[in-house]
Amino acid sequence: MINTTLCYIEKENKYLMLHRIKKENDLNQDKWIGIGGKFEDRESPEQCVRREATEETGLILGKCNYRGIITFVSDKWPTEYMHLFTCCDFDGQIKECDEGVLEWVEKEKIYDLPLWQGDKIFLKLIENDSTPFFSLRLEYKGDSLVSAILNEEVLV
């Protein structure tokens, strides 16, 4: 089981998205996702998301909003606990990312991109700033979402 972070950095009604096309054996190959990665020893979720954002984008994050925790269960990959953030407070210049291509994408066009099915669920949850902190469990068989449970209520 692993702990990761994912952050949707936003400006001017756009999210900074990463098109995962550069890493070999990438479970996110050709998907568009937010910014993040695996925890290092002794890191808090906030420390991890800031470090990963700087490593992947060159940006330095200010205040981040901790939005929820997503539990990914898969028949192909280890269980993952992903700590989800949004951030509109950042500084710096975007640099090239060795995991894929970074692009600012208008929020309403994100759903036209190749996304994981479960990502569409939590993206809708974070669109509304009044959505409280949530727990979402997503279960995949292969690349197909077979179950989604939000705060103990079955969605799929």
Give the other-Cβ count within 10 Å of 52's Cβ.
22
Q: Summarize the confidence of residues 84-96 as an average pLDDT.
A: 97
Q: Which pTM value belongs to this model?
A: 0.94
Report the distance separating Cα 72 and Cα 81, nearest Å: 6
Determine how many CB atoms are found less than 10 A away from the CB of residue 124.
11
Q: What is the pLDDT of residues 25-82, one digit of tens each?
A: 767 778 999 999 999 999 999 999 999 999 999 999 999 999 999 999 999 999 999 9
What pLDDT does residue 26 have? 67
**Whole-angstrom distance, CA of residue 46 vs CA of residue 119:** 20
**CATH code for position 130:** 3.90.79.10
Domain span at residue 140 reads 2-154
Instruction: Tell me what pLDDT residue 25 has.
Output: 73
Tally the domains of the chain.
1
Q: What is the mean pLDDT of the chain?
A: 94
